[in-house]
Amino acid sequence: MKLSKESKERLEKLKLLKDEDIDCSDIPATDEEFWKDAEIFHPRKKQQLSIRLDPEVINWFKQQGKGYQTKINEVLKSYVNHKANN
């Protein structure tokens, strides 16, 4: 998802806020009724695998920052979903 310049600036300001400086007064408290239909979601465990990739591919993903392996997985998953739906 591509963010506008204004959205990026807002996100940067939000990142600088301390938890105690966030006004939560308009958020209602939750009770047992609120959570009665809640379900616990356990994400699937990922399978460990050894894969050979070109150095430029690995370097590009690493330059994107922390979580580069997750990003590689997301790109591959997106490709698979696209192919499965066509």
CB 61 within 8 A of CB 72: yes
Is 10 inside a domain boundary?
Answer: no
What is the reported pLDDT for 42? 86
Query: Residue type at 72?
Result: I
How many domains, the chain? 1
Average pLDDT, rounded, for the chain: 92
Question: Is the confidence at residue 1, as pLDDT, over 80?
Answer: no
Cβ partners under 8 Å of residue 71, min gap 6: 61, 64
Structure confidence at residue 52 as a pLDDT band (50, 70, 90): very high
Is 32 inside a domain boundary?
Answer: no
Is 85 inside a domain boundary?
Answer: yes
Is 66 inside a domain boundary?
Answer: yes
Question: Is the confidence at residue 73, as pLDDT, over 80?
Answer: yes
pLDDT average, residue stretch 10-39: 92
Is 46 inside a domain boundary?
Answer: no
Q: Which domain holds residue 83?
A: 53-86
- Tokens found for residue 25: 């007064």
What is the reported pLDDT for 86? 81
Rg, the chain, Cα only: 20
Question: Is the confidence at residue 44, as pLDDT, over 90?
Answer: no
Is 81 inside a domain boundary?
Answer: yes
